[in-house]
Amino acid sequence: MCRKLEELLAFHSAPALCGLKASNLISLNKNNFMQDINQLNKMYNPNVFFTYLKVSYNHSLLLVFKRKILEEHLLKEDNKKFLESLGYTVSDNIFDYIEELKKRINKSNDFPHEIGVFLGYDLLDTVEFIKGNRNPLLKGLWNVYYDAYNKQIIFDKYNRCKDCVIRLVNKGFSIENFMK
């Protein structure tokens, strides 16, 4: 894997690769890393996935996740009910939900903000954002409308993780060590 991709993964997906967060979303130049991403999937599936949600002429959106962590979050009853209320078919297979999310991202001009559930954001915060509440208590990795104190602790944990992984990668430690 090229050094630039390791740095991008460290910066944009360390919390997911370390198992702290359900997933991370990375925006990439389409052609730069497709071969490396395909190779990572061959090496690390079924535990770690790099799933393209959208690929356009010069841009792609990549969802990075450890299957077990995303399953634990996405298949919580309240998250499943929420997605069902938006028209998702209820399933115990996260890939059914991911396929529906892909369809929604690719066919609409409106970005499907329920992606917050896939990214591990608090469901109440995701719902408030979708409702159009533009007065969050805290802006961080997502807009927080409830329990700002504890969400700040979560943000700090994710940032410490990211900083640590970046330092290790800059010292020559391979990002692949976090994919096991």
> Domain ranges in the chain?
3-178
Q: What is the rounded distance in angstroms from the CA atom of residue 2 to the CA atom of residue 159?
A: 24
pLDDT in tens, 106-155: 986 789 999 999 999 999 999 999 999 999 999 999 999 999 999 999 99
pTM of the model: 0.94
Mean pLDDT of the chain: 94
The Cα-based distances of 78 to 81, 97, 101, 163 in angstroms read 5, 14, 18, 32
Q: What is the rounded distance in angstroms from the CA atom of residue 116 to the CA atom of residue 167?
A: 28
